[in-house]
Amino acid sequence: MEIQFEEMAELGTLEDCLAECGYEKRTDIFVPLYKKIVSEQYSLRIA
């Protein structure tokens, strides 16, 4: 995945791609525009 980001940056498409995914570039970092809710997932083994 890191290689793809490097290639996209070289082609000039990285910022557009991340903007479509909900990120905004601020100075040298990309910040998500939306807060994401994550819940923990548990697995149980049933015998």
Whether the pTM exceeds 0.85: the reply is no
Residue with tokens 């290689």: 3
Dist CA 11 CA 29 (whole Å) = 18
The SS3 call for residue 17 is helix
Closest by Cα among 15, 46, 11, 8 to 30? 15
For 4-34, what is each residue's pLDDT tens digit?
A: 888 888 999 988 988 998 888 888 888 888 8
Dist CA 28 CA 16 (whole Å) = 15
Closest by Cα among 38, 34, 6, 4 to 19? 34
